[in-house]
Amino acid sequence: MQNTNSRRNFIKNSAALFALSSIKASGLEAFSLGPARRVALIGTGWYGKSDLFRLMQVTPTAVVGLCDVDKNQLQGAASLIAARSASNNNIPLYADYRKMLAEQKPEIVLIGSPDHWHALQAIESIQSGAHVYLQKPISVDVMEGEAILAAARKYNRTVQVGTQRRSTPHLMEAKKNIVDAGLLGKVHHVEMCCYYHMRSSNNPSVQEVPNFLDYQMWTGPAPFRPYDGLPHRRWWRAFMEYGNGIMGDMCIHMFDTVRWMLDLGWPNRISSTGGIYGSNPGKSNIADSQTAIFEYENLNCVWQHRSWGTAADPEYPWSFKIYGENGTLCGSTLKFDFIPSGKGEKIHRDVVLEKEKYPEDLTEKDIELFAAPATREHMKNFLASIDNNSRPVADIEEGHISTASCILANMAMKLQRPLVYDPVKRIVKNDREATALLKRDYRSPWKHPHHLLS
């Protein structure tokens, strides 16, 4: 028995040393020395690969599976990952995530697929025994989010949501040294915004589905749209069939940041107005203009987006502003500014890009340099939570509150009335019509996971 254990430890330690020696990223974290994490990725597009690369930078990683319904995208991802790490050659490739989970039994699953797939893939990954790093928004309807949360708690799995502003170094400093230190005084108003021109106005014709894409599987539980070009990157975000519009894509980041900064839970009430107001709308059916109010006791958090015109504050086109009695905190992915109301010094910080520590960032195609340090910190927090069996900074419950609040804002805009959600009873109070919208219909043969709540 002694010899067997020694042999197992030798193999285990040798695998860890090999994984470490083969990682080409220069900034591998010392705390992560140990057996390589067995990781699988579902959705090998832009941000799926980006999340995996950030994980590879902070811990020895054995990629045991890649899954995508686009064969070209899948093969391209495998080549890039192999170039990053000699230990990740000959990665098993899959078109069906269910088969990958069953065959590989990964320790960690990263989910970077489009929003309409998040719930089913997250739940089945959890049920397979994996811990999950789930991109935001976690769901397209509220009951999907409730089901993911229920699964995570039932199977005691760690789920970190990709709302990495909670791990953005300069914003962590702002929370600690400005908000928590009391420099703002009492806070009674928050403004959040996005003025990027990110809503597509394209109007492509229906096309033949290319042989390298399984479009039926890509569509999955979502309503079926005639194929009119590769949906990757930005095109699928133009449709409410697959996501929650700019509200679910961009507001969730800033609203989640504000909730974390101010220690806020569920809003007391949510209202919203908006629609498609700009010219040349194209095929897209998401709102190009929207205002939402998330109400708390003696505090309103107000969101505004426009995908046309100019930003209200060109210095902070995608941002939050927290107004306190003693000063104002402006924050974004790139910087923060604290402006005191009276006497006192202004405080300014810029994002630190870590280009010297991680020079490979500079050659990575389409990388968001400003987000890379935050995602690395987010991954380290995720790993520590797995090892310590603790809740991560962006635990699934926090991701659910932020996601569901944005979904409810879209519902309030559609119904043209304020909504009050009861997370205990999982209903919209005194509103049967709104409650019915908390769960969308799934396309056959896919089954909505709301049964996990019974």
Q: Rounded distance, CA 202 to CA 180, Å?
A: 45
Is the pTM higher than 0.85? yes
Structure confidence at residue 86 (pLDDT): 74
Report DSSP state, residue 357.
T
> Are 167 and 133 contacting, i.e. CB atoms less than 8 angstroms apart?
no
Helix axes 118-127, 97-104, angle to 10 degrees: 20
Helices (H) then strands (E): counts for the chain: 13, 16
DSSP letters, 261-287, are HHT--S-SEEEEEEE--SS--TT--S-
**Residue stretches of the chain with pLDDT short of 70:** 1-33
Structure confidence at residue 85 (pLDDT): 82
- Return the number of other C-beta atoms located less than 10 Å from residue 66's C-beta: 26
Which region, left, alpha or beta, applies to residue 233 given φ > 0 means left and ψ of -120 to 50 means alpha? left
Which part of the chain is CATH 3.30.360.10? 168-368+396-453
Q: Are strands 93-94 and 61-67 parallel, antiparallel or unpaired?
A: parallel
At 278, list the tokens.
Answer: 């700009």
Which part of the chain is CATH 3.40.50.720? 11-165
What CATH fold (topology level) applies to the domain 168-368+396-453?
A: Dihydrodipicolinate Reductase; domain 2 (3.30.360)
Structure confidence at residue 29 (pLDDT): 55
Domain 11-165, architecture per CATH = 3-Layer(aba) Sandwich (3.40)
